Structure 1
Amino acid sequence: MVRRAHKKSRNGCLECKRRHVKCDEQRPICSNCTAAERICEYSTRIVNINPKPPLTASTPIASPSPSAGSPSVAFDDLPVNMLHVELFHNLFTATYTTFDPNGSLTWLPEVVSHTIKTPYLVNEMLAFSALHLSTTRPAQRDYYHYHAAQLQTQALAIFKETSPEVTQETCIPLFFFSSVLGIHMLCDTLIYRENDFDHFLTRFVHYLRLHHGVRAIISQAWSMLLDSILKPAFNSGIELYQSHGPLAPGCEKLQNLIIAANLGTELTETYQRAIKSLQACINIANAEHVDHVAANAVITWPILVKLEFSDLLEQRRPEALVILAHYAVLLHRYRDSWLFGDSGRFIIEEVTRYLGSEFEEWLEWPLEALQSPN
């Protein structure tokens, strides 16, 4: 009897290879390592000169293997990598303006000049630029998304290998790495969602947890950051997000419904903190101090919510899903931004479908937002 040929992939993560289990090769962390809460690393030290993008976008952060006939060389042997040049140019001519359209962040160029020699940060910044291009160049969507995943995986691998200590010299690169990585993962989760709500929720929870883990490292540098060139920006941000004020009608109604549901003290307090943080972000977006502050308010809410809230989302608790739909109102407001696209509408409609008519009153404000022309 002739045995059927079996094509074995050599692109699985190192942990799956060690355990001799099949790896789904999802980047930056495969499903096996996510489930087992293990450190997931890939051997990605080769840069393909003529890489091919994946044929479909059915697996958003999957990393396809290069074609067998494509030549490859070590990165250090390449005199110039033209893709990286393109990504670097896009980063400072287009991606950069997403967060500073009016050039009001006068300290940002100086920060970049200090961090451009940090390998893990440079890789992540190029990855973010590739993600940007994947949303603005539809014909090459898969090509740029593939490289965004590759470069991000490389950034995480370098970060883990170097395990940089928190010092006055490293605190700014560490902070920016955490920030760009978090925004990258949020955007990737919102845009590349496969129109599968359950899969989207799983990825969103994964994003919250991974970003929370990186932030835990950055928290060690907080006192140093407050004594750096970022001090004015931090002082301004602390002022903005600590001045909550009263809840607006939409959030106030949601809070009243949660209190009336008698969910218990601990659960109610977790939800109230999430609503209070969301209201702070809504207030800042409504004030529209400058464009970059309004956009940053949308990005900030997932950073402010506690890890306990991600557990409730993972459990598909209806109250947590309703709060997520209220956050989606902000996403929908800035739907013209490449960072968010139509994710706001997707979340609101899917939460409404998932929960059914029983939660129609709870979702009144998000559904009204979809009808608004603004």
Structure 2
Amino acid sequence: MRSSHRKSRNGCRECKQRHKKCDEASPTCLNCTITNRSCSYRLTRPMHRLSRPKAASCASTPSVRTLSPPIQCNTQQWQDQQYDLGHLELLHHFESGAFEASMLPLPSSIRMAIMQCALTNPYLMDQILALSAAHMSTFRREQQQMFSNKAMELQTRAVSLFNRVETDISMQNSRSWFLYASFLGIQMMFETFQCRNFDSFCDKLTTYFPIHQGVHAVVRTAWPAVREIIHEIIGQRRIEDTADFDHERPETCGHLNTLIHDSDLQEIDKEACSQAVIALQNIFDICEVDSGVHIQIPFTISWTMLVSARFGDMVRSRIPEALVILSFYAVLLHRHRSFWVFGDSGRFLIQSISTYLGTKWEQWLLWPNSQLAAT
């Protein structure tokens, strides 16, 4: 016997055909949302009801401190996605203090902005869940493989959806692009730095470096839209702001310029190495001036966005000069090894590069190796 229900005078076509009570929500009623059906009020809803103002069905694209006017979600995108209690656990973990303590402390306004962008863009939600799963794999040791697989599955789904729904960056979608690219870059960095085979590590950089350079491209393109988010996360300081630096202090990477100058590299490769050294020296200077972890870690991550694609190719090709520069960068990774994304990748890189290059390059690697014992 069919359970009795009060008739829904203005319900959707699906509910009327299935003799279900419709809650008349727009654009998709609850029944159709649960059963993943196409919801339509055509020929069932009087015109005077269509003229009523409707509440927004989803969160809007946010400003960091104030909310923008509501933007309608693409309902079909959400219907195409399938979420279960496992995904809810990952979302809860992302919102928990345990995840924030392992990442960086974010102001509540930033957390709200991230979540509202995710509720508007399913590809960003999937990437958030993927990053959460990657983090859970680091301390749920008995379920490490399961969470690693889930992280890869969600990342793949996020990339696929992003490629389907996004074509060009605009002021409307720039925040979502930036957050998506940033979270994807962090996950790729984690996966790359988890590798403990030097050849495989260099090969993984083939995908990792371009992704972080893509984040930099988004920032350049949509700086007015993402500036407030970045400033909220790492403060007003920028890499090129060197007003507080003590220029009398010896440069950490100073003698690398001699290495580059005296090398037999092509000029284009010398230029790529010089740019990498300048960016690296700036980050070392920033870390000397500001000891806050919330400053040092984002700038440590940022180096991989600032180096050129040419330099990335040199690392992948195991060009000695590029590997020496990478070993200096590894010192920063080692200093922040408590950060779950870095782990012991700094030590692994310094030792692996030293072994790979051998005694011929030993003098250039003295300082990075000395830092392993000093910290």
Q: Does the pair score TM above 0.5?
A: yes
Deviation at 1:285, TM superposition (A): 2.6
Structure (1 or 2) with the larger CA radius of gyration:
2
The residue matched to 1:251 in structure 2 has which SS?
A: coil
Residue-by-residue CA offset, 1:86-105 (whole Å, 9 max, x unaligned): 1111111122333433x5x3
Going from structure 1 to structure 2, the CA distance change for 1:116 and 1:368 (only over 3 Å counts) comes to same
From the superposition, tell whether residues 139 and 151 of structure 1 become closer, same or farther in structure 2 (CA, over 3 Å): same
- 1:294 aligned to which of 290, 293, 296: 296
CA distance in 1, matches of 2:233, 2:102: 19
Question: Does the 8 A contact of 2:234 with 2:294 survive in 1?
Answer: no
In structure 2, the CA distance between the partners of 1:77 and 1:212, relative to structure 1 (3 Å rule), is closer
Change (3 A) 1:132 1:171: same
Let me know the Cα RMSD of the aligned residues.
Answer: 2.6
Deviation at 1:257, TM superposition (A): 2.1
The verdict on how the C-alpha distance between 1:165 and 1:154 changes in structure 2, with shifts beyond 3 A counting, is same
Q: Any idea what the Cα deviations from partners look like across 1:184-204, whole Å, max 9, x if unmatched?
A: 10111001x1x2111110102
Letter in 2 for 1:202: D
Matched residues in 2 for 1:232 and 1:340: separation?
A: 23
After TM superposition, give the deviation of residue 125 of structure 1 in Å.
0.6
Distance 1:220 1:291, change over 3 A: same
Q: Matched residues, percent identical?
A: 32
Asked if the contact 2:337–2:344 (Cα under 8 Å) also holds between the matched residues in 1, the reply is: yes
1:180 aligns with 2:180: no
Residue 83 of structure 1 corresponds to 86
Asked if 1:230 corresponds to 2:233, the answer is no
Which ranges of structure 2 fall in alignment gaps of 5 or more residues? 1-77
CA deviations 1:2-24 (Å, max 9, x no partner) are xxxxxxxxxxxxxxxxxxxxxxx
| Distance across 2 between alignment mates of 1:211 and 1:251 | 23
Pairs within 5 Å for 1:283-322: 283-322=285-324
CA distance in 2, matches of 1:146, 1:352: 33
Whole-angstrom distance in 2 between the partners of 1:158 and 1:77: 10
The separation in 1 between residues aligned to 2:130 and 2:337, in whole angstroms, is 22
**Aligned letter for 1:326?**
F
Shift of 1:234: 8.6
1:345 maps to amino acid: R
Q: TM-score, normalised by structure 1?
A: 0.72
For structure 1, the 5+ residue unaligned runs are: 1-74
- What residue number does 1:168 align with? 171
Indicate the SS of the match to 2:315: helix
* In structure 2, C-alpha distance between the alignment counterparts of 1:224 and 1:331, rounded to whole Å: 30
The equivalent position to 1:333 in structure 2, one of 320, 335, 339, is 335
Match of 1:57 in 2: none
Mark the CA change 1:241 to 1:190 in structure 2 (over 3 Å): closer, same or farther. farther
Q: Is the 8 A contact 2:205 2:316 kept in 1?
A: no
- 8 Å CA contact 2:251–2:281 kept in 1: the answer is no
1:109-134 CA-partner distances (Å, limit 9, x unpaired): 23124312110101001000000011
Aligned partner of 1:220 in structure 2 is 221
1:277 corresponds to which of 276, 279, 283: 279
Contact 2:178 2:215 in 1 (8 A): no
**Shift in alpha-carbon separation, 1:218–1:119, aligned structure 2, 3 A:** farther
Among residues 362, 365, 369, which one is paired with 1:363 in the alignment? 365
Residue 141 (structure 1) aligns with? 144
Whether the 8 Å contact between 1:322 and 1:363 is mirrored in structure 2 is: yes
Query: Match of 1:312, as an amino acid?
Result: M
1:201 and 2:205 aligned: no
Choose between structure 1 and 2 for higher RCO, CA contacts under 8 A separated by at least 6 residues.
Answer: 1
Asked if 1:243 corresponds to 2:246, the answer is no
One-letter identity of the residue aligned with 1:146:
N
Larger mean CA deviation between 230-239 and 346-355 belongs to 230-239
- Relative distance call for 1:334 and 1:275 in structure 2 (3 A) is same
Contact kept in structure 2, 1:175 and 1:218, CA below 8 Å? yes
Deviation at 1:206?
Answer: 2.1
The alpha-carbon deviation at position 243 of structure 1 amounts to 2.3
Shift, 1:279, TM fit: 1.4
* 1:252 aligned partner: 254
